[in-house]
Amino acid sequence: MNTLKLKRGLIVAVLAIGLTASVPLTQAAAESTAKDLFSGTPAGDSTFHFSDIQFLNGTTGRAAGNGFLIGTSDAGASWQSIYKGTWQFTQLDFISNTTGWALAKSSAAGTNALVHTTNGGSSFTKIPTGPIALERIHFMDTQKGFGYTRAFAYKTSDGGKTWIKITTPANTRYAEFTDAMHGWTLIVVPGFGYKLSRTTDGGATWSTKLSVKATEISGGEIYTRGSQIWAVFYGGAGMSQQSYSLYATSDNGASWKKVISQDTAGGGPAPGGAVGIVKEGPASPGGHPSNLVLVEGAAILGGYSPAGEAIGVGRSLDAGKTWTNLKTIKGFESVISFTSKELGWMADTSSSSPAVYRTTDGGKTWSKKMSIPIINH
C-alpha cells in the first residue's frame, strides 16, 4: 500500500471528511459507536474486517473494508461512517480530504474495479479499465497516476479514464514509478532468482541495479522515496512462516545493504547469499512482512504472524545501516500508515480481531482506537 500525505486540518466544529452533511463533531462522535458503524450486512463475508488504512496527516484518515469506509479527524479518537454498500475495498488512494481513488471488488471472487470520489468517499463512481485488472494504484494529482497489474505498469493523465502501457522488462512481477520518467521493476529470472532494474527514460531502456539469487521465487515489492529504494524479495513459505530478504539503497541503486535475511524452517533460506544486518523481521519468528512506509528518513515495515498471533513493526532510522524490530501486540494480519517517523496507525486486517491501533513513538507502543464487534451475519 503507498501513503500520500496532504496537510489538512479540522474545520472548526465541523467534520470535513466527506460526509454528505456537515455534522458537529461532538454530535457525530456521540452517535457513531462501533455498533452503529458496523451495522447491517458485511459485503462478501459473514463478518466485517479491515483491508486498508490511509492517513493524510496526523489527524485525518480513513479505514476501509468489506462494504464500509470510516473516517476520523481527531487521530482516531472518534470515527464516523462515510460509506456503506457493496464495494469490498482492497486499496485506498486519496490525494486530499475530498478527492481519491480506490480499488474495490463487487464480489469476493471478482477482480478489482477502479472507483473515484470527489466527496470524501460518501459515493464512488466506477471508472472502466477494460481488460486491465489493476492490483495497485498511485495517483500524483487529480490527473496523473500509475496503475499496476501483476506483470505490467500503466500510466494515466486523465484521472484514470484511459491508461497507457509502460514498457517494462520481460518477467516483471512488480513495478513502481515515481514520475513519468523514473521507475523500478522487480524481475524474476527462472533458474536464478531476481533482478531489480531502473529506468530514467520512461521505460525506453532499463539497467540492472541488483541481482539476488533465490532457490524459490515467489515475488516481492519495491518502495521508493527520493534516492532511497527498498525492495522485499520473497523466498518460500510454509508452516505459517515466510522466508524473505529486505534490501536498501540510499543512492538510487549504486550500492546496496541487505538489511533483513529471514530464513525459516517452513520456507527455507532467504533470497540472496549475503548475511543481513538482522536475521529476522518484525513479528518473528517466521513473521510475514506487510507493507513498508518511507517517511522523514525512516523505513518502517509492518509484520504479522498468524501462528504467533502477533503484529508489529520494525524500522531503520539511518537508511538501512541499522534495524530494530519493536515489541509486538496481539493480532493476526496487518497494514500500516505513518505520517511521520513517530506517528502512525496499524490495522489488524484479520477477521479474528479487526482493530485499528495508533502509535506516537514510532511503533514502540500501540493504543487501540477502534475495533469491529465480532458478529456473524
Task: Name the domain count of the chain.
Answer: 1
CB 207 within 8 A of CB 196: no
Please state, in angstroms and rounded to a whole number, the distance separating the CA atoms of residues 103 and 278: 35
| CATH at residue 152 | 2.130.10.10
Spatial neighbors of 226 by CB under 8 A, at least 6 apart, are none
- Alpha carbon 254 to chain centroid, angstroms: 26
14 part of a folded domain: no
Q: Which string of b and e fits 345-374 if b means at least 16 CB within 10 Å?
A: bbbbbbbebbbbbbbeebbeebeebbebee
Residues 84-125 pLDDT 10s? 999 999 999 999 999 999 999 998 888 999 999 999 999 999
Please state, in angstroms and rounded to a whole number, the distance separating the CA atoms of residues 176 and 155: 11
Spatial neighbors of 111 by CB under 8 A, at least 6 apart, are 105, 133
0.85 cut: is pTM over it? Answer: yes
Q: For residue 150, what are the domain limits?
A: 25-371
Give the pLDDT band (50/70/90) at residue 24: very low
3 part of a folded domain: no
CB 122 within 8 A of CB 69: no
Residues 26-78 pLDDT 10s? 333 334 588 889 988 999 999 999 999 999 999 999 999 999 999 999 999 99
CB 326 within 8 A of CB 314: yes
Here the cell at position 212 is 539476488
pLDDT at 143: 98
17 part of a folded domain: no
18 part of a folded domain: no
The answer on pLDDT for 344 being more than 50 is yes
16 part of a folded domain: no
Q: Which string of b and e fits 311-333 if b means at least 16 CB within 10 Å?
A: bbbbbbbebbeebebbebbebbb
60 part of a folded domain: yes
328 part of a folded domain: yes
CA end-to-end span of the chain: 29
376 part of a folded domain: no
